[in-house]
Amino acid sequence: MDGFDSESLYEQDRLHVWHPLTQHQDYSHNHPLIITHGLESTVYDINGQSYLDAAAGLWCVNVGYGRQQLIDAALRQMQQLAYYPLTQSHPAAIELATRLASYIPSTPHIYFSNSGSEANETAFKMVRQYWQQQGFPHKTKIISRFRGYHGSTLGALSATGQPERKRNYGPMAPDFMQVSAPYCYRCPFHMQYPSCQIQCAEDFERRIQIEGADTVAAIIVEPIIAGGGVLIPPPGYFSRLAHIAKDYNVKLIVDEVVTGFGRTGSLFGHELYNIKPDIVTMAKGLASGYMPIGATAVSDEIFHTFLGATDSGRHLRQVNTFGGHPVACAAAIANLNIIEEDQLVKQAQSKGEYLKQLLVDQLQNVPWVGDIRVQGLLAGIEIVTEPETKTPASDAFMRLLGRHLIKQGILAGKATDVETWHNNILIIAPPLVIHGDELEQIV
């Protein structure tokens, strides 16, 4: 592309940019793409090469690249009020919070931060303070699931059920623990649905009983474990989970960081299961990645325990300098307008069905495709060496596949198999504006 000296940019990148999840010693034969611009579902690199972004960046550019309406809204807000903290207030945060509350009326109190990790950290602090204020100081434990991902900061990482992400970073925060994931393809109990009677859900009850309900503050779950391999729970899983949480007086936090804002074919993933969480966390698709923003949406019941006399100390004693940033809020409002105007939730549902049909028709009989899991525009394809043994494909094979896809002009994501530490699950989570012929090209 004009205006870029690719050689010197690669050199400066190699010298100065420390990339996530990247072995820098491989740089010379494994350097990153340097992406310069994007439009709809396509991004372009420094050499002018185009790529279909089947991963929507990091599964977040739901409305696609280059949406002028969103850009204009952010620019207008920056001109009007570039920054103000939410220790006071501003119209963009008020409008966005009101909008989010209208989407999930059972969690109408919105705390803004900048990322999914922070949204989850905030939720953990809120439930612990809630229980303290209710007179249960020992209810501090947070139960999550193996393979679940909740973020990179130490609390969110402690809730994450992917041991390879925690290696070398211990000790983790105390009082975080994991139970089995709903992973029917590799059932942790070596059983089959429905005769299993959803043991993976029962695992929560067992763990709560072992720990003692008087020590457990909350359960945190993704509606579909996303980064851990697109694990779609079996029917009945979530209603059982919600019952267990209620029976043992444990708060239910639903992490909608990936699954929110249309990704699964409903506005929020938990709507698929007809449950009412106590707290919902969100980020990624909230502003489609145009600005960083996270949010923690909280029930009346929890919020009201934070009320008291000015000096009672019952208020949430947390501040995030950039939480509820006016430009991020304005971008999020414009993003939500686009999602509504373009009916992207409905589109994700119908395109997801098409994607599923394409994947099943064309890949089902490929010997190294072990399992295909699709919900809306979130798909995981489990790559194995042979279907009988389900042995995960090696990292070397997955790297080869990734390089092949890039050569074909496709950027896809990868998820991790916890037991083997292999990255053997290919993820497709494109912008929700993707066209049918582009889905065909990806498949």
**Tokens encoding 29:** 């034969």
**Tokens encoding 84:** 């103000």
State the sign of the Cα–Cα–Cα–Cα dihedral 115, 118, 124, 125: negative
Q: Which of 159, 258, 280, 401 binds ligand PLP (CB under 6 A)?
A: 258
**What does each C-alpha distance from 206 to 25, 106, 211, 213, 240 come to in angstroms?**
45, 28, 9, 10, 13
334 binds ligand PLP (CB under 6 A): no
Considering beta carbons, is residue 20 or 171 the nearer one to ligand PLP?
20
**Tokens 């804002």 — which residue?**
261
**Is residue 259 a contact partner of residue 273, using CB atoms and an 8 Å limit?**
no
Taking CB under 6 A as the binding criterion, the range among 90-98, 150-158, 387-395, 400-408 that sits at the site for ligand PLP is 150-158
Helical H segments across 31-181, by residue range: 56-59, 68-80, 91-103, 116-133, 154-159, 163-166
Considering beta carbons, is residue 35 or 58 the nearer one to ligand PLP?
58
Q: Exposure of 282 by Cβ count < 10 A (0-12 exposed, 13-18 middle, 19+ buried)?
A: buried
Considering beta carbons, is residue 61 or 283 the nearer one to ligand PLP?
283
Considering beta carbons, is residue 272 or 443 the nearer one to ligand PLP?
272
Considering beta carbons, is residue 36 or 152 the nearer one to ligand PLP?
152
150 binds ligand PLP (CB under 6 A): yes
What are residue 254's phi and psi, to 5 degrees?
A: -110, 125
Q: Closest separation between CB of residue 120 and ligand PLP, Å?
A: 6
226 binds ligand PLP (CB under 6 A): yes
Q: Closest separation between CB of residue 60 and ligand PLP, Å?
A: 8
Of 60, 66, 57, nearest in space to 35 by CA: 57
Q: How many chain residues interact with ligand PLP (CB under 6 A)?
A: 15
Instruction: Say how many C-beta atoms besides its own lie within 10 A of residue 13's C-beta.
Output: 14
Taking CB under 6 A as the binding criterion, the range among 121-129, 174-182, 222-230, 432-440 that sits at the site for ligand PLP is 222-230
416 binds ligand PLP (CB under 6 A): no
Q: Which of 53, 121, 205, 255 binds ligand PLP (CB under 6 A)?
A: 255
Q: Closest separation between CB of residue 227 and ligand PLP, Å?
A: 5
254 binds ligand PLP (CB under 6 A): no
Q: Which of 155, 182, 223, 227 binds ligand PLP (CB under 6 A)?
A: 227
As a whole number of angstroms, the distance between CA 151 and CA 13 comes to: 25
Residues facing 37 on adjacent strands: 44
> What is the b/e burial string over 127-138, where b = at least 16 CB atoms within 10 angstroms of the residue's CB?
bbbbbbbeebee
**Tokens encoding 273:** 């299961």
109 binds ligand PLP (CB under 6 A): no
Number of H helices and E strands in the chain, helices first, is: 14, 15
Q: Which of 54, 257, 384, 427 binds ligand PLP (CB under 6 A)?
A: 257
Considering beta carbons, is residue 21 or 309 the nearer one to ligand PLP?
21
Radius of gyration of the chain (CA): 22
121 binds ligand PLP (CB under 6 A): no
Q: Which of 38, 57, 64, 151 binds ligand PLP (CB under 6 A)?
A: 151
Taking CB under 6 A as the binding criterion, the range among 79-87, 143-151, 191-199, 410-418 that sits at the site for ligand PLP is 143-151
Taking CB under 6 A as the binding criterion, the range among 19-27, 139-147, 220-228, 371-379 that sits at the site for ligand PLP is 220-228
- State the residues that interact with ligand PLP by CB under 6 A: 115-117, 120, 149-152, 222, 226-227, 255, 257-258, 283
